[in-house]
Amino acid sequence: EDQVTQSPEALRLQEGESSSLNCSYTVSGLRGLFWYRQDPGKGPEFLFTLYSAGEEKEKERLKATLTKKESFLHITAPKPEDSATYLCAVGKNYGGSQGNLIFGKGTKLSVKP
């Protein structure tokens, strides 16, 4: 069964304290792994797509990496404005074309000044 598991469920950091969020997955027909950020009362905001093991992408204080079974979202020297829920999702192929996303439950990150 296709599944995405994120850990930890919640993470509290001090400003400047670097850490990593984990996303492990089992899925048939992987089309890509996606990271989203979600603020309260808003929809998920796209951050990264990773397609193959060994791939890395960076955006400001965030860096996403991918292996065959998991992805990490590394946060370097976080600031309070990085506080949000970070969602991991895997994309499935559907008949060779773009299919739906399977989401994890997310990691709620709080960064204290």
Residues forming the site for another protein (CB under 8 A) = 4, 31-32, 34, 36, 41-46, 49, 87, 89, 94, 97-106
Closest distance between another protein and the C-beta of residue 42, in Å?
A: 5
Tokens of 87: 């969602």
The DSSP call for residue 40 is T
- Closer to another protein at the Cβ: 44 or 78? 44
Closest distance between another protein and the C-beta of residue 109, in Å?
A: 17
Residues in the chain: 113
- Closer to another protein at the Cβ: 32 or 78? 32
**Beta bridge mates, 56:** 65
The CA distance from 3 to 16, in Å, is: 32
